[in-house]
Amino acid sequence: MRTYTHALWSLALVWAVAGSAGAADEIKIGLLYPTSGIYAAPAKQGIQGATLAFEEAGGQVAGRKIVTIVEDDEAKPEVALAKAKKLAESDRVNVLMGIIWSPNAMALRGYLSERKLPLVISEAAPRPITQELGTPYIFRTGFASGQLDYPFGQYACSKLGYKKIVVIAFDSIFGRELGDFIDAGCKQAGGAVVEKIYAPVETADFAPYFARIQQANPDAVWALWAGAAALRFLKQYDDFGMKQKYPLIGHGALTDEAVINAAGSVAQGVVSYYNWSPAIDTPENKRFVEAYRKRWGSEPGVYSAGGYRAASAILAAAKAVGGDVANTPKFLEALKAVRLDIPSPIRFDAHQQAVHSLYIRRVQPGPGGKLVNAVIGEVRGIEQYWPKGKPAK
Partner 1 sequence: MQLVAFQVVNGLVYGMLLFLLAAGLSLIFGLMRVLNLAHGSFYMLGAFIGLALVQATGNYWLAFFVAPLLVALLGAVFEILFLRPLYRREHGGHLDQMLLTVGFIFVFVDVVRSIWGGDVLGIPTPEALSGAVSIFGVFLPKYRLFIIVLGLALAATLWFFIEYSRLGAMLRAGVDDADMAEGLGINVSRMFTLTFALGVGLAALAGVSSGPMLGVHTGMDLEILIVTLIVVVVGGMGSLKGALIASILIGEADTFGKAYFPEATMFLTYLIMVGVLLFRPTGLFGIRQDA
Q: Which of 116, 212, 347, 390 binds partner 1 (CB under 8 A)?
A: 212
40 lines the binding site for partner 1 (CB under 8 A): yes
Give whichever of 128 and 208 is closer to partner 1, judged by the CB atom.
208
Provide, rounded to whole angstroms, the least separation between the CB of residue 240 and partner 1.
6
CA distance 343 to 334: 20
CA distance 96 to 57: 18
CA distance 25 to 18: 11
239 lines the binding site for partner 1 (CB under 8 A): yes
Q: Which of 13, 18, 211, 337 binds partner 1 (CB under 8 A)?
A: 211
124: nearest Cα among 52, 224, 201, 42:
42
Q: What mask of x and - would describe binding to partner 1 in positions 49 to 88, judged by CB under 8 A?
A: ----------------------------------------
List helix spans (H) across the chain. Answer: 2-24, 40-56, 77-85, 102-115, 149-157, 173-188, 207-216, 227-239, 242-245, 257-263, 283-296, 302-320, 328-336
3-class secondary structure per residue, 177-237: HHHHHHHHHHHHCCCEEEEEEEECCCCCCCHHHHHHHHHHCCCEEEEECCHHHHHHHHHHH
216 lines the binding site for partner 1 (CB under 8 A): no
Neighbours of 172 (CB within 10 A): 13
11 lines the binding site for partner 1 (CB under 8 A): no
Q: Which stretch binds partner 1 (CB under 8 A): 26-34, 109-117, 216-224, 238-246?
A: 238-246
Give whichever of 257 and 324 is closer to partner 1, judged by the CB atom.
257
322 lines the binding site for partner 1 (CB under 8 A): no
Provide, rounded to whole angstroms, the least separation between the CB of residue 236 and partner 1.
7
243: nearest Cα among 278, 214, 202, 283:
214
CA distance 80 to 71: 9
Q: In sequence order, what DSSP letters do the residues of 164-179 get, joined into one string?
A: EEEEEEESSHHHHHHH
CA distance 280 to 97: 25
Strand, coil or helix: what is 22?
helix
208 lines the binding site for partner 1 (CB under 8 A): yes
Provide, rounded to whole angstroms, the least separation between the CB of residue 207 and partner 1.
4
Q: In sequence order, what DSSP letters do the residues of 281-304 get, joined into one string?
A: -SHHHHHHHHHHHHHHSS---HHH
Provide, rounded to whole angstroms, the least separation between the CB of residue 68 and partner 1.
24
236 lines the binding site for partner 1 (CB under 8 A): yes
217 lines the binding site for partner 1 (CB under 8 A): no
263 lines the binding site for partner 1 (CB under 8 A): yes
Contact 125, 107 (CB under 8 A): no
Number of residues that bind partner 1 (CB under 8 A): 33
Q: What mask of x and - would describe binding to partner 1 in positions 164 to 203, judged by CB under 8 A?
A: ---------------------------------xxxx-x-
Give whichever of 207 and 392 is closer to partner 1, judged by the CB atom.
207
Give whichever of 44 and 140 is closer to partner 1, judged by the CB atom.
44
Strand, coil or helix: what is 27?
strand
Provide, rounded to whole angstroms, the least separation between the CB of residue 333 and partner 1.
41
Give whichever of 202 and 281 is closer to partner 1, judged by the CB atom.
202
Contact residues: partner 1, CB under 8 A? 38, 40-41, 197-200, 202, 204-205, 207-212, 214-215, 227-228, 230-232, 235-236, 239-241, 258-259, 262-264
